[in-house]
A = this chain, B = another copy of it.
Amino acid sequence: MRGLLVGRFQPFHAGHLGTVRRLRTEASDEELIVAIGSAEQSYTWENPFTASERFEMIARALAEASIDGVLVVPVADIHRHALWVRYLEGLLPEFGRVYTNNPLTRLLFEKSGYRVERPPLLDRTHLEGRKLRELLASGRPLGNRVPRSVARYLAEIDAAGRLALLRGAATARSGTRRR
């Protein structure tokens, strides 16, 4: 039975890759579905990269690390939590196990009877994604926080320029709202 790992991957980083490698090693006869959440979002501070770009990062990182048996699927938001699990069941190939650290995701899947596990190596993914966006926006190096192929791709698409601009826009808007 396939496993399912859901994330936004803004960007796809070394923690994600380590988790995917571990899951594929521990259960090598079991494919892993990597669902790219909020696929319709892009060019915002929280979701700077399109699903296409995130798919590309994941594909390159998996190729670099010679990991196979992974199905990458972009998934648009449905904005109705009560329908979300059912929505994924209708979209993805069959899966039997869910890996997540997100408490809401855990709750929704458990209510639907799924076995939910904490993914290895991924305790602070959410914070790591934000940290990486901030490093990019500040023009600082990401070091080994992302796979090499991802670092090259981020340079190709000038991620640093985009993030700096989006951080500025988010700050301006937030300032407006604070009033």
A residues at B contact (CB < 8 Å): 39-44, 46, 50-52, 55-56, 59, 71-74, 76, 79-83, 86-87, 89-94, 102-104, 107-108, 126, 130, 134, 162, 165-166, 168-169, 172, 174, 176-179
CB-CB nearest in chain B for A179: B130
Contacts of A166 in B (CB 8 A): 104
A94 adjacent to B168 (CB under 8 Å): no
B104 adjacent to A169 (CB under 8 Å): yes
Known A-B contacts A42-B82, A73-B73, A87-B83; A130 and B176 likewise in contact (beta carbons under 8 Å): yes
- Closest chain-B Cβ to A169's Cβ sits at a distance in Å of 5
Q: Which 4 residue pairs are nearest across A and B when measured between Cβ atoms?
A: A43-B81, A82-B90, A55-B93, A86-B86
B76 adjacent to A76 (CB under 8 Å): yes
B73 adjacent to A74 (CB under 8 Å): yes
How far does the alpha carbon of A177 sit from the alpha carbon of B179 in the complex, in Å?
14
**Number of copies of this protein chain within its complex:** 6
Contacts of A56 in B (CB 8 A): 93-94
A81 adjacent to B168 (CB under 8 Å): no
Q: Point out the residue from B52, B92, B103, B162 that lies within 8 Å of A90, measured CB to CB.
A: B52
How far does the alpha carbon of A162 sit from the alpha carbon of B102 in the complex, in Å?
13
User: Can you list 20 A-B contacts (CB < 8 A)?
Assistant: A39-B91, A42-B80, A42-B81, A42-B82, A43-B104, A52-B89, A52-B90, A52-B93, A56-B93, A56-B94, A59-B71, A59-B93, A73-B74, A74-B92, A80-B87, A82-B86, A82-B89, A103-B169, A126-B172, A174-B178
Given contacts A46-B176, A51-B91, A80-B87, 17 further A-B contacts (CB under 8 A): A42-B80, A43-B104, A43-B108, A50-B90, A50-B91, A52-B89, A52-B91, A59-B71, A59-B93, A71-B72, A76-B76, A82-B90, A86-B86, A103-B165, A104-B165, A107-B162, A174-B178
